[in-house]
Structures are given as C-alpha cells and as structure tokens.
Amino acid sequence: MPFVETGGHRTYFRMDGRDDAPVLVLSHSLGLDHGMWDEQVADLLPHLRLLRYDTRGHGASSVHQEDYTVAMLGRDVLALADALMIEQFAFCGLSLGGLVGQWLALHAPDRVTRLVLANTSHHPDGQAMETRRRTVIGEGMTGVAETVMGRFFSPATLVRQTPRTAWARRMLLATDPAGYAGCCAAVRDWDGTPQLHAIRVPTLVIAGTRDVSMPWEVHSRPLAEQIPHVRFVRLEAAHLSNIEAPRAFSVEVADFLLDRGSSVRDAGSRVRRQVLGDAHVDRAEAATTDFTREFQELITTCAWGTIWTRPGLDVRTRRLLVLAITAAQGRWEEFRLHLKSGLAQDLEPADVKEVLLQVAVYAGVPAANTAFKIAVEEGAGSDTVNDE
C-alpha cells in the first residue's frame, strides 16, 4: 500500500493522473478520509495529477494519542510532498483541510501555487470543538455521529439516503476516536484571523448556502474579505459541498486552477484528437483551405476548446450525448463519426444500445432504426436490425 513514513508518523496516500500534469493536493474534512474526493477525481483527472491522503488520525494513516495542531498537520503535507519529490502544488482543503491550507499558504508560500478553501474558517468555534472532543473520548464515535451527519448534509439529502451519505456515515463511525479527538484539538486551537492578510497565494473560497456548521457570514466571508488575492463562490450545499454539489464544486475548482481561457485553442486541439483520433484530425487539417480555415478554428476553439474540455461532464458522457443528439436530429455523418471513434476508444456496444433505446422513446423509432443499422455496420452488434 502507498505509505510515507516520516518522524514516526505514517501517511497513507493515493496519487492519480499523468506524471507531467500539475499537482493538486486534496485534504479531507474531520471524520472522513481521502475517499471524500472520489467524484472530484473523476472530474479533474483529465486535467491534473491528484494527490489524496488520509489526515493524521484518520483512514489508514497513523493514530497518535495526543492533541494535534494545525501546524503538525501542515508539516505532514510537506513531508508527504517531499517524499514524493513534489516541489510545488495547488492545495484544496475542505473544513479541517482548509485550516491546513491556510497554514501552508502562510508557512510554505513557495510551495503552494494556488489555494482552495472550502467550507472552512479562519477561527472555528473552539468551545464546540472541545465539547465534541470530550464526547468522542467518553462515548466513542456514536456519541457524535448524528450531530455530525446533520452538519455534513442538508436534511433533504439525508432523507434521500444516497450511497454517498451512507458512505460518509460508515467512514465517520469507523474513524478512530483518538485520531478524531486529536484533530478536534487542532480545530479548537486554530485562529488564523491575524494572519489572513499575509496569505499571498491566489485563493478560491467556497461556501455552502446550507452549511450550518460554518455559515458564510461568520466563517467564509472573513476569508473572502481579508485574503488579498481571492475569489469566492457560494454553492447550494451543506458542509460537504463537494459531495452534495459535486459537479458545481469540480467546475469551480477547475476554472480557478486551470485558467482554461488562456489556451482554449490548444486544449481544444488536444481533446479533438483524443475524441476523434489523430487520423481524422490530420485529414481535416490537410483538407483545410483559406475558405474553410476560420470555420476549422471556430470548431476547435468553441466546440472542442470551450465545451468538450469543461470538467462538469467527462468525455465518455459527452460522447453519449453527441450520439443521442445527432441520432435524434438525423445528422448521420456526425453520428457515424462519433460512433466509430467512440467504439475505438472508451465506448462499448452496450453503451450505444442504451443510448439508442433512449432515442427510440424520446426522438422516435425511425431515428433509432437508422441509428441501429449504422451501429451494426460499425461493429457495435452482430444482430440484423429489421426495417419497421
């Protein structure tokens, strides 16, 4: 398993993504582990190298029977980055992770390129955290589970009993009480108020409109007002905004970190080749004339660079949408192009079948009938499709 051991402490981590991509470190909240970021990994992996880790006292990292400090947790991050030979990184921390992010921006500004502070605070409620720390020591995790879940998620989300809320409850109850209590002490003792003006790293502050744990006015607004180079966004979510509004969270983080507007054409060219293949793009470029050149630029910049690179939907989902739309509109040349390239890469015949069944219901049987014929011709299935 991937561990780094430094100074008697063992940190569990996971690294995903291309070796040449910029690094984003993801730091989870109190009571969970690196799995909190699963949906952001799916969204951001095409663009970034993602380093997730379990905070001291959580998940598979070491538990130490003592009060922790935010400085201690920050040094754990630096030790992990050093061990993995990561010189610089962007950092995204939610709740407890946001405290760690503030410490890193203040004490290791040369290491942090950009900072995302989500559902966090410059000065948490120390008395409340001390009460929670004592409860966990005396009663275990069951003593705080219901209260914490009511802060993690909005009531409507809890009522739906989604797989992600079930995961969060299981992870919370599985957290070592000693590790949880140690991190409660770190939160209890943190006050970054006097130093916020000294954070010079470009920062994105994310808050949840339904976050009763760290409401905007008391906790996030001072961050947004006192950190010099900051932008902020409020999502329709409770404390775990990255789970309750995962696509919106990913889009905001990606827009902030990637600065997509500065290289839209280059990004579009890359994703066009990724989706359609080099051979097709090479043919299109070779056939470009003075008359069609601006149209090719329009396609590359607007369709591929502006839309296909957005992190809110992955490439596979966008492929399926294009198949459904082109089939519904009878754009058979485009349908065949995207079908052929999709089957050659990340689509399976079963994916195509489901899309075309959906087309039959919502766009009509004739459109689906033609689409099924083309799909068979392109190798999506061996069965003969009869005319109506």
Residues 363 and 350 in one domain: yes
Q: Which of 307, 330, 365 delimits the end of a domain?
A: 307
How much is the pLDDT for 285? 85
Q: Rounded to two decimals, what is the model's pTM?
A: 0.82
Residues 276 and 337 in one domain: no
Taking CA atoms, 21 is separated from 50, 109, 346, in Å, by 9, 20, 22
Cβ contacts of 37 within 8 Å, gap of 6 or more: 26, 28, 50, 52, 242
CATH number assigned to the domain comprising residue 11: 3.40.50.1820
pLDDT one-digit tens code per residue, 256-282: 998 655 577 777 888 888 888 888 888
Residues 227 and 338 in one domain: no
Residues 323 and 366 in one domain: yes
CA distance 339 to 263: 28
Per the prediction, the chain carries an average pLDDT of 93
pLDDT band at 290 (very low <50, low <70, confident <90, very high): confident
User: Residue 231 belongs to what domain range?
Assistant: 3-258
pLDDT one-digit tens code per residue, 165-205: 999 999 999 999 999 999 999 999 999 999 999 999 999 99
Predicted confidence (pLDDT) at residue 63 exceeds the cutoff of 80: yes
User: What is the dihedral angle through the alpha carbons of 378, 381, 383, 388, rounded to the nearest 10 degrees?
Assistant: -70
How much is the pLDDT for 385? 44
How much is the pLDDT for 255? 87
User: What is the dihedral angle through the alpha carbons of 212, 213, 218, 222, rounded to the nearest 10 degrees?
Assistant: -120
CATH number assigned to the domain comprising residue 340: 1.20.1290.10
How much is the pLDDT for 259? 64
Q: Provide the number of structural domains found in the chain.
A: 3
Residues 213 and 341 in one domain: no
CA distance 305 to 269: 7
How much is the pLDDT for 388? 46
Q: Which of 228, 243, 258 delimits the end of a domain?
A: 258
How much is the pLDDT for 198? 97
Residues 148 and 119 in one domain: yes
Average pLDDT over residues 120-148: 97
pLDDT one-digit tens code per residue, 351-361: 999 999 999 99
Cβ contacts of 216 within 8 Å, gap of 6 or more: 207, 209, 234
CA distance 11 to 332: 53
Residues 235 and 109 in one domain: yes
Residues 113 and 203 in one domain: yes
How much is the pLDDT for 299? 87
Q: Which of 223, 258, 293 delimits the end of a domain?
A: 258
List of E strands, the chain: 3-6, 9-16, 23-27, 49-53, 89-94, 112-118, 203-208, 230-235
How much is the pLDDT for 294? 87
Among 12-21, 232-241, 269-278, whose mean pLDDT is lowest?
Answer: 269-278
β-bridge partners, 208: 235
Residues 284 and 347 in one domain: no
Listed in sequence order, the DSSP H helices in 176-298 are: 177-189, 221-226, 241-244, 246-258, 264-276, 278-286, 293-298
Residues 292 and 350 in one domain: no
Residues 41 and 156 in one domain: yes
How much is the pLDDT for 122? 97
Average pLDDT over residues 83-94: 97
β-bridge partners, 235: 208
Residues 278 and 249 in one domain: no
- 58 within 8 A of 32, measured Cβ to Cβ: yes
How much is the pLDDT for 386? 47
